């Protein structure tokens, strides 16, 4: 069996919508959204839903039973749940690989440190032996976003801007297989201690540069609001490029962005570890969609950062204290 039964998929899709979880179709056999069939960068507005501007999968996710029935009667699409609009924060535990501990082992360490455990909740098994733990977001108006490896090896989280493949979807290919329900507990509230782990480390998210005094003196970069705004914008635009990368350009775009952030890190205006984390987070939707693996993303980022660090970005002259050398 390579695809799940269409009526089974339709019934599950309707059940998710009934639970208040907006869903959207995946191309059969894959983890990729079926619609739109293009990215923001390649949008020519010809798509009916893009007349007034590009509409991505998150905005297309729906609770509308009429639309859901029409779609799944048409084709045996896979099912994706848009985590942000669903008010869900899904903890994604990967199986052990490449000598790295499993997400479950990493979680056990976090629980030990916190002296608390994540409560039983709605849990989905993934084809390679991973687990998706579904929790309710603590603040639906300001949902937590995605993270990739931020909490430790083997743990990602999916929130606003992220989605999960839901049962009874079956993917094909070497990493493919069925998604299945492991535990049908009502989704529990994400415990405060766990959301704090995410918020304390995501507070620095999305391009708030950290200044390193020693390096800054070395490169004579002014620690001014203007310099920080310049760097913040430069970082944000690189991260946006990663998110919007078109098919076939995703790895190259990630590599180029890693070089750019490496060049900024070389000035001391951007923290290198933070840059690496931001790049991983920005790439996480592509990893989830199977464009490249987490391991590939990490190695692309590492080689881009290395190259960028060797070649510090020349900042506009009015942002440097002394005009620097030469
Ligand atoms: Zn579009």
Per-residue pLDDT of the chain (326 residues; tens, 9 = 90+): 445 688 999 999 999 999 999 999 999 999 999 999 888 888 999 999 999 999 999 999 999 999 999 999 999 999 999 999 999 999 999 999 888 899 999 999 999 999 999 999 999 999 999 999 999 999 878 889 999 888 988 999 999 999 999 999 999 998 899 999 999 999 999 999 999 998 875 433 333 333 333 333 334 455 667 777 778 888 888 888 888 888 778 887 888 889 888 888 887 778 888 888 889 888 888 887 778 888 888 888 988 888 888 777 777 666 655 433 33
Q: Give the pairing type, strands 88-93 and 177-178.
A: unpaired
Distance 272 CA to ligand 1 centre (A): 34
pLDDT of residue 202: 40
145, burial (CB in 10 Å: exposed 0-12, middle 13-18, buried 19+): buried
pLDDT of residue 223: 60
Distance 47 CA to ligand 1 centre (A): 6
Distance 51 CA to ligand 1 centre (A): 8
Sequential DSSP letters for 37-52: SS-GGG--S-SGGGTT
d(CA 257, CA 239): 7
Distance 220 CA to ligand 1 centre (A): 43
pLDDT in tens, 128-185: 999 999 999 998 788 899 998 889 889 999 999 999 999 999 999 988 999 999 999 9
Give the position of tokens 């983890």: 31
Q: Which residues does 86 contact at the CB level (< 8 Å), separation at least 6?
A: 20, 21, 22
Distance 290 CA to ligand 1 centre (A): 21
Helix, strand, coil fractions of the chain, as percent rounded to 5: 45, 15, 40
Distance 58 CA to ligand 1 centre (A): 12
pLDDT in tens, 255-290: 888 988 888 888 777 888 888 888 988 888 888 777
pTM of the complete model beyond 0.95:
no
pLDDT of residue 311: 76
d(CA 174, CA 275): 31
Distance 74 CA to ligand 1 centre (A): 22
How remote is the C-alpha of 226 from its chain's centroid? Answer: 29
């Amino acid at each position: 069996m390579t695809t799940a039964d269409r009526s089974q998929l339709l019934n599950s899709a309707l059940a998710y919508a009934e639970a208040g979880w907006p869903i959207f179709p995946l191309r059969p056999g894959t983890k990729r959204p079926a619609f739109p069939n293009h990215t923001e960068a390649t949008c020519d507005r010809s798509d009916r839903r893009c007349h007034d501007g590009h509409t991505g999968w998150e905005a297309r996710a729906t609770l509308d039973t009429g639309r859901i029935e029409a779609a799944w009667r048409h084709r045996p699409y896979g099912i994706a749940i848009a985590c942000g609009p669903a008010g869900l924060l899904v903890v994604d535990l990967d199986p052990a690989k490449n000598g790295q501990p499993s997400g479950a082992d990493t979680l056990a360490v976090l629980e030990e440190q916190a002296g608390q455990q994540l409560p039983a909740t709605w849990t989905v098994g993934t084809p390679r032996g991973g687990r998706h733990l579904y929790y309710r977001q603590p603040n639906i108006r300001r949902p937590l976003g995605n993270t990739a490896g931020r909490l430790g090896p083997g743990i990602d989280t999916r929130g606003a801007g992220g989605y999960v493949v839901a049962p009874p979807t079956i993917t094909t290919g070497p990493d493919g297989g069925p998604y299945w329900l492991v535990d049908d507990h009502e989704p529990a509230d994400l415990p405060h201690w766990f959301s704090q782990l995410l918020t304390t480390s995501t507070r620095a998210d999305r391009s708030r540069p950290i200044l390193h005094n020693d390096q800054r003196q070395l490169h004579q970069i002014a620690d001014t609001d203007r310099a920080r705004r310049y760097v913040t914008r430069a970082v944000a635009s690189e991260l946006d490029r990663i998110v919007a990368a078109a098919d076939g350009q995703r790895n190259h775009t990630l590599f180029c962005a890693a070089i750019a952030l490496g060049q900024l890190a070389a000035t001391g205006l951007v923290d290198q570890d933070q840059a690496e984390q931001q790049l991983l987070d920005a790439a996480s939707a592509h990893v989830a969609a199977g464009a490249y693996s987490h391991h590939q993303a990490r190695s692309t980022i590492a080689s881009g950062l290395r190259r960028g660090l060797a070649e510090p970005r020349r900042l506009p002259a009015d942002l440097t204290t002394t005009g620097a050398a030469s």
